[in-house]
Amino acid sequence: MSGPNTNYDPVQVSALDEASVFDMRDAALAAINAAIDLAGLKEVRSSHVGDRSPLALANREIGALPPQARKDAGSRVGRARAAVAQAFEARQAVLEDEAQERMLLEERVDVTLPWDRHPMGARHPITMLSEKIADVFVGMGWEIAEGPLVEAEWLNFDALNLGPDHPARTMQDTFWVDPPEDHLVLRTHTSPVQARTMLTRKPPIYVACPGRVFRTDEYDATHSPVFHQVEGLVIDKGISMAHLRGALDHMLQALFGEGMRTRFRPSYFPFTEPSAEMDMVCFICHGSGQQDEGECRTCRGEGWIELGGCGIVNPRVLIACGVDPEVYSGFAFGFGIDRLLMFRHGVADMRDIFEGDIRFATPFGVEL
Amino acid sequence: MRAPLSWIKDYVALPDTLTIDELTDRLTALGLKLEAIHRADITGPLVVGRVLTMDPEPQKNGKTINWCTVDVGDANGTGEPQGIVCGAHNFKPGDLVVVILPGGVLPGDFVISARKTYGHVSAGMICSGRELGISDDHDGIIVLPTDAGVPGQDALPILGLDEEVIEFEINPDRAYAMSLRGVAREAALGFQVPFTDPALRDTPAGNGEGHPVSVEDPIGCPVFVTRSVTGFDPSAPTPTWMVRRLEQVGQRSISLAVDITNYVMFELGRPIHAYDADKLQGELVIRRAVGGESLKTLDGNVRALSEEDLVVTDASGIIGLGGVMGGESTEISDSTVNVLVEAAHWDATAMFRTGRRHKLTSEAGKRNERGVDPEICEAAADRVVELLVAHGGGSAGRGVTVVGQAPATAEIELEPALPQLISGMPISAEMTNAILQQVGCTTTSAGDRLKVWPPSWRPDLTDPYDLVEEVVRVVGYDDVPSVLPPAPAGLGLTQEQQWRRRLGRLLASTGHVEVISFPFVGTTDLDNLMLADDDPRRTTLRLANPLSSEEPLLATTLLPGLLKTAARNVSRGLEDLALFEIAQVAKGDRMGPTPILGVDQRPSEEELAGLTEAVPAQPLHAAVVLCGNEDRAGWWGSGRPANWSDGIEAMRMLADSLGLELEIAAADLAPWHPGRCAELRLAGEVVGHAGELHPRVCRNFGIPPRSVAAEIDASALEATAVAVPQAEVFSTYPVAKEDVALVVADSVTSAEVSSALREGAGPMCESIRLFDVYVGDQIEAGFKSLAFSLRFRAPDRTLTDAECAAARDSAVAVAVERLGARQRA
């Protein structure tokens, strides 16, 4: 920047006259508007806007003018520069927007390209269905009890009113740990968990026991030597079959929706008396047995689906497990989770559950 | 149990308008569950035929077939004999048989047509009971009584196939329903109509003139009744109606005497035995067998007897396994003219044990072991005598032997309100009393209690709750209302249950697929894992009755199941795999026998502790197996095969999710690669292993080389997991970053360097992270360069450059001093 000019010649600063300033301004504005991209605008900046632009140079000369002229010229040049700067910024904004738009256009990708770099995992549907059932009971205020798979014979049988000569003891086709004199079995039901619960907790008891169980069944499309059960046990004062039915109806409504109900038929289990078979109304045809003007495929036209067994806990079981039958009564039920999975989710072959083909579990994801 | 409707109606006056569906619905509601209603599932001509000729023709395949001509009257349209090939041999020319002619359809849509077989055109088929769907009998064809009909006559009504037969599933406690007497009684109860008891008959009293009998074990055999028939005609045919009913209940006609004993068993539920009286030698003695004794039973097997077996003996020795099966030496034959009829009541438990010991199941055994009405021995014997005389001639012997008497049923005290309390239905004391009488009980009031004596045919009724079931089933199970039980507020899932779900969700959300394997393994599996002889995972529990002799052991590790599952997937073309399983394994250390405790009261704490301690430890394990690519190849570039570190990382993640940090150390353990196996420790305890599998293990299991596995004791993790994580306190002052590259010998692990740096870096060091490992030209052989990024931050101020440099130098100094590290230039 040059210092104040004290010896000036007004003729020498004709660049500051009105016409000149307007010319410089108009030239600058024309150049700005003529710039078609940011690179062009950058050139305009140095020739018409920057420190070396005619208007900037003219501005330097203002100080050389006499005071009156200085004011006029100052305001004239100032207005011109402001107009140029404003036009420049406006043009820059427009060109930047254009550039951005162009870039976004150029960066377009094929969003249909698959991104399956890391395949999805999944939990086993049996695990998830067990948890879903458990959650229904937890929602009713119950707790979840568990126990060992290799179990004491006494807990699996004797404590549950299945004495050594009880026909049911062979009906259940038990896996025995060698030597059998050790009295260890692979549990044939989750009922020993009920016995353990009664032996270790004081009533009231409200528990559900999901878990893996074993029977020496052949392995085919509808049987497996390893399968899964959930059992429920309630011990409290004044418990009746009505409560049993209420709990089961509630569970079925939670799993299958409104309108689900049960049907009880007399049956026989050593650990319950009275004992019942429970059927659930078919969740597809709601009991009509009809589907798409034909026989319902889920219940085979029965309108009902066999679910499992239940009943009032036999007082002999209560006594063996230290519960006073004069004070308390209770109910118990049990049903197979594998079969429930099969009809709820359309699994045709039970072996799919255990073969571990990843195509079986993967579609079920991590939560049922 | 199969019950022909017409037979039921012999004893109960069912309403004429009642449909069979109404009947079976009601009986199902009472506890006799409908299994099936059998109707003739046969169309086309099923006719009586008379065998005219039969020529046995041995075949190349070793079988002998019979080329028969059979007179079927005009049923074939020509009246000419029908040529039929038959594989059975239990008939002879002249016999009446059942023939299905071409065009007929047997159960299972089995269309009959004339076809060429064994060198003949066989125009139809001579039928067995199984082919007609009326029994499981396939040992021979049905031979009809000589008076059953004439050739060409429709055989459907003769066999009762035009009648409905109801098949029930009978629960083990309702043995009484394994007879027409029992089924009819239930029908009468269900419809409140009169019942005529076929066992209610006048029988002659015991006298001294019957066959001598001595019962040495009145517990095992409380009642023993014999009657006799002399001059019986062994060639007399079984009447057609009886053959038909026997076929309907699934029993093939054998001979008149045998058919009658079977018929009475189905009628009354009481198994009967008939002896050829001329083969008996003197007094019958009923006792337990002694060790070393044996018997050749009717089925031709010689059976070694146990001291628990009840036997019938005469002077010749043992002649029968009481209540279970007779002996060969005294059985009824086609020359028997004098018959001794035995109707005895046997102890159900003894019957059950004997049947199980000798693997004998028979219609008689099924009834005896579940409990038969002990009061109808005389009636049953009398009914047999009646039928023998009526159809086989001869005369009833005067002698009647009755030894012992039926045990009295024990009285049950019932609180009359119990049915109402237990069922949740309004059932008055009067209703309870009335229903119990309807089912056959005798009752009297005793104060506020009801004294109840169950009827003789209901040995299953022993407890008040048994009576409750009787009352409730008559009132109707389906009328039980639905009332939510009033559970107190619960505590939700336990911490362990929540953790277990967390582990599964974590593994699944990081790409692993859960599988459920059978816990059965064989020694081969353990060998395939290359486990050392003294590896504790070889200490397993063994099953006494495994499904497969190849896999008799209970798994101590989840890896065999996972590796076999992986191989199955690979064989199906699914080669990029990340599998996991979370399951209990069984430790094999023998804990000694678990006691069998009493059931009359709660066992003591000591007894219970002894019981639960004898159950082997079964910790929860979590394991993963990885094969092929961890990251797939794709348009983004190449894939990344799973490697040893992915296995370790999966386990580290599990621990991290429980607020735990695993210590990782090099290890050498099967089934892993000896140089690529990590030991996972928690507070110094080894809790698992992870890494690349040994190449031979991959080969053994048929999975790709370089597959990865990891297994951890999740129970051990849970034991120290952090239940209530605490918030971190963190500084908001600026972070200072320092990178260091250290050259160390190959043998020095990154964990050692990292922990040396950590120790030297002082309290301001926020984190130390390894970001590069370099081995190559710029480093001398046998050494590697490890580059770490260190972050420093103070809680209360901005650190100066000098402070950071000093901390960094101090960190490096420890590594230099302890591990011989030098800073890389």
Q: Which H or E run includes A262?
A: strand A262-269
Residues B716 and B771 occupy one common structural domain: no
Residues A88 and A156 occupy one common structural domain: no
Asked whether the beta carbons of B336 and B278 are under 8 A apart, the reply is: yes
pLDDT band at A61 (very low <50, low <70, confident <90, very high): confident
Residues B279 and B381 occupy one common structural domain: yes
DSSP-derived letter for residue B43 is: B
Residue B20 and residue B163: Cα distance in Å, rounded? 11
Mean pLDDT for A63-88 is 85
Show the domain range for A32.
10-106
Cross-chain residue pair A113–B515, CB shorter than 8 Å: no
End-to-end CA distance of chain A: 78
* CATH assignment at residue B86: 2.40.50.140
Residue A359 and residue A353: Cα distance in Å, rounded? 11
Asked whether the beta carbons of B198 and B188 are under 8 A apart, the reply is: no
Asked whether the beta carbons of B8 and B183 are under 8 A apart, the reply is: yes
Show the domain range for B183.
2-39+165-191
Q: Does the CB of A117 have a partner CB in chain B at under 8 Å? A: yes
Cross-chain residue pair B516–A353, CB shorter than 8 Å: yes
**Structure-token pair, residue B591:** 């804990």
Cross-chain residue pair B174–A268, CB shorter than 8 Å: yes
Residues B600 and B685 occupy one common structural domain: yes
User: Which residues of A fall within a CB distance of 8 Å from B612?
Assistant: 152, 196
Cα R_g (chain A), whole angstroms: 44
Q: Is residue B233 a part of any domain in this protein?
A: yes
Cross-chain residue pair A320–B602, CB shorter than 8 Å: yes
pLDDT of residue A340: 96
Q: Does the CB of A322 have a partner CB in chain B at under 8 Å? A: yes
Q: Which of A28-32, A242-246, B735-739 has the lowest mean pLDDT?
A: A28-32
User: Which residues of A fall within a CB distance of 8 Å from B478?
Assistant: 263-264
Higher pLDDT, residue B137 or B377: B377
Count CA atoms closer than 13 A to A360's CA, side-chain side: 25
User: Which residues of A fall within a CB distance of 8 Å from B513?
Assistant: 121-122, 358, 361-362
- In SS3 terms, A176-232 reads as EECCHHHCEEECCCCHHHHHHHHHHCCCCEEEEEEEEEECCCCCCCCCCCEEEEEEE
Asked whether the beta carbons of B728 and B742 are under 8 A apart, the reply is: no
To test the contact with chain A by mutation, choose from B21, B367, B449, B465 the residue with the greatest count of A C-beta atoms within 10 A, namely B465
pLDDT of A11 above 70: no
Q: Which H or E run includes B354?
A: helix B348-357
**Structure-token pair, residue A346:** 């359309």
To test the contact with chain A by mutation, choose from B513, B577, B596 the residue with the greatest count of A C-beta atoms within 10 A, namely B513
Q: Is residue A118 a part of any domain in this protein?
A: no
Residues B577 and B683 occupy one common structural domain: yes
Last residue of a domain, one of A44, A75, A106: A106
**Residue A108, min C-alpha distance to chain B (Å):** 16
Q: Is residue A268 a part of any domain in this protein?
A: yes
pLDDT of residue B375: 96
Cross-chain residue pair B514–A127, CB shorter than 8 Å: yes
Asked whether the beta carbons of B141 and B84 are under 8 A apart, the reply is: no
pLDDT of residue B359: 86
Residues B469 and B522 occupy one common structural domain: no
pLDDT of residue B356: 87
To test the contact with chain B by mutation, choose from A149, A153, A327 the residue with the greatest count of B C-beta atoms within 10 A, namely A149
pLDDT band at A228 (very low <50, low <70, confident <90, very high): very high
Residues B544 and B514 occupy one common structural domain: yes
pLDDT of A6 above 80: no
Asked whether the beta carbons of A6 and A66 are under 8 A apart, the reply is: no
Residues A74 and A201 occupy one common structural domain: no
Residues B133 and B279 occupy one common structural domain: no
Q: Is residue A120 a part of any domain in this protein?
A: no
pLDDT of residue B232: 94
* CATH assignment at residue B369: 3.50.40.10
Q: Which of B174-183, B233-242, B804-813 has the lowest mean pLDDT?
A: B233-242
Looking at the structure of chain B, the number of domains it has is 6
Residues A100 and A235 occupy one common structural domain: no
Output the CA–CA distances (angstroms, integers) from residue A68 to A1, A60, B441, in the order listed.
22, 16, 135
Q: Where are the alpha helices (DSSP H) in B305-347?
A: none
Q: Which of A49-53, A229-233, B419-423, B780-784 has the lowest mean pLDDT?
A: A49-53
pLDDT of residue B724: 93
For residue B490, which of A312, A234, A285, A222 has the smallest C-alpha distance?
A234
Residues A82 and A165 occupy one common structural domain: no
Q: Is residue B694 a part of any domain in this protein?
A: yes
Q: Does the CB of A118 have a partner CB in chain B at under 8 Å? A: yes
Please write the tens of the pLDDT for every residue from B713-741. 999 999 999 999 999 889 999 999 999 99
What's the whole-number average pLDDT of chain B? Answer: 93
| A274 closest CB neighbour out of B472, B491, B583 | B472
Cross-chain residue pair B574–A357, CB shorter than 8 Å: yes
* CATH assignment at residue B14: 3.30.56.10
| B483 closest CB neighbour out of A115, A138, A246 | A246
Please write the tens of the pLDDT for every residue from B11-31. 999 998 999 999 999 999 999
What's the whole-number average pLDDT of chain A? Answer: 90
Residues A86 and A146 occupy one common structural domain: no
Q: Is residue A199 a part of any domain in this protein?
A: yes
Q: Which amino acid is at B705?
A: P
pLDDT of residue A15: 61
Please write the tens of the pLDDT for every residue from A170-195. 655 899 999 989 999 999 999 999 99
pLDDT of B756 above 70: yes
CB atoms within 10 A of CB B449: 14
Residues A131 and A216 occupy one common structural domain: yes
Q: Is residue B196 a part of any domain in this protein?
A: no
Residues A164 and A102 occupy one common structural domain: no
User: Which residues of B fall within a CB distance of 8 Å from A261?
Assistant: 482
pLDDT band at A5 (very low <50, low <70, confident <90, very high): low
Residue of A nearest to B562 (CA): A356
Cross-chain residue pair B465–A131, CB shorter than 8 Å: no
Structure-derived torsion over alpha carbons of residues B663, B666, B668, B672, reported in degrees to the nearest 10: 80
Residue of B nearest to A276 (CA): B477
Q: Is residue A166 a part of any domain in this protein?
A: yes
Output the CA–CA distances (angstroms, integers) from residue B459 to B407, B438, B539, in the order listed.
10, 16, 47
User: Which residues of A fall within a CB distance of 8 Å from B469?
Assistant: 266, 273-275
Q: DSSP letters along B635-695, please?
A: TTB--EE--HHHHHHHHHHHHHHTT---EEEEE--TTEEEEEEEEEEETTEEEEEEEEEPH
Q: Which H or E run includes A132?
A: helix A125-139
* CATH assignment at residue B782: 3.30.70.380
Q: DSSP letters along B107-128, please?
A: TTTEE---EEETTEEE-SEEPB
Q: Is residue B198 a part of any domain in this protein?
A: no
Helices B20-30 and B464-475, axial angle in degrees (round to 10): 150
Residues B625 and B697 occupy one common structural domain: yes
Q: Is residue B451 a part of any domain in this protein?
A: yes
Residues A66 and A129 occupy one common structural domain: no
Q: Tell which A residues from 72 to 111 touch B, by Cβ distance under 8 Å.
A: none
pLDDT of residue B60: 85
Please write the tens of the pLDDT for every residue from B378-399. 999 999 999 999 999 999 999 9
Q: Does the CB of A279 have a partner CB in chain B at under 8 Å? A: no
pLDDT band at B177 (very low <50, low <70, confident <90, very high): very high
pLDDT of A1 above 50: no
Residue of A nearest to B574 (CA): A358
pLDDT of B227 above 90: yes
- Peptide bond connecting A179 to the previous residue in cis, omega within 30 degrees of 0: yes
Higher pLDDT, residue B155 or A350: A350
Residues A224 and A256 occupy one common structural domain: yes
Residues A41 and A131 occupy one common structural domain: no
Residues B187 and B324 occupy one common structural domain: no
Residue A209 and residue B494: Cα distance in Å, rounded? 13
Mean pLDDT for B171-196 is 95
Residues B710 and B757 occupy one common structural domain: no
Residues A257 and A153 occupy one common structural domain: yes
Q: Is residue A154 a part of any domain in this protein?
A: yes
Mean pLDDT for A24-51 is 89
Residue B341 and residue B339: Cα distance in Å, rounded? 6
Q: How many CB pairs under 8 A join A and B?
A: 308
Residue of A nearest to B633 (CA): A117
User: Which residues of B fall within a CB distance of 8 Å from A243?
Assistant: 424, 483-485
pLDDT of residue A166: 75
A103 Cβ contact list (under 8 Å, min separation 6): none
Q: Is residue A326 a part of any domain in this protein?
A: yes
Q: Is residue A343 a part of any domain in this protein?
A: yes
Higher pLDDT, residue B540 or B244: B540
pLDDT band at B157 (very low <50, low <70, confident <90, very high): confident
Q: Does the CB of A9 have a partner CB in chain B at under 8 Å? A: no
Residues B643 and B784 occupy one common structural domain: no
| B599 closest CB neighbour out of A261, A316, A362 | A316
Looking at the structure of chain A, the number of domains it has is 2
Residue of A nearest to B31 (CA): A266
Mean pLDDT for A215-223 is 91
Q: Is residue B447 a part of any domain in this protein?
A: yes
Residue B617 and residue B610: Cα distance in Å, rounded? 14
Cross-chain residue pair B31–A319, CB shorter than 8 Å: no
Q: Is residue B784 a part of any domain in this protein?
A: yes
Q: Which of A123-127, A170-174, B480-484, B521-525 has the lowest mean pLDDT?
A: A170-174
Residues A163 and A245 occupy one common structural domain: yes
**Residue B541, min C-alpha distance to chain A (Å):** 7
State percent of chain B over pLDDT 70: 100
User: Which residues of B fall within a CB distance of 8 Å from A264?
Assistant: 477-478, 480
State percent of chain A over pLDDT 70: 95
User: Which residues of A fall within a CB distance of 8 Å from B347?
Assistant: none
Please write the tens of the pLDDT for every residue from B514-526. 999 999 999 999 9
pLDDT of residue A168: 62
Cross-chain residue pair B465–A273, CB shorter than 8 Å: yes
Q: Is residue B731 a part of any domain in this protein?
A: no
pLDDT band at B509 (very low <50, low <70, confident <90, very high): very high
CB burial of B507-517 (b: ≥16 within 10 Å; e: otherwise) equals bbebbbbbbbb
Last residue of a domain, one of A106, A133, A149: A106
Mean pLDDT for A304-323 is 96
CB atoms within 10 A of CB B418: 19
Residues B324 and B423 occupy one common structural domain: no
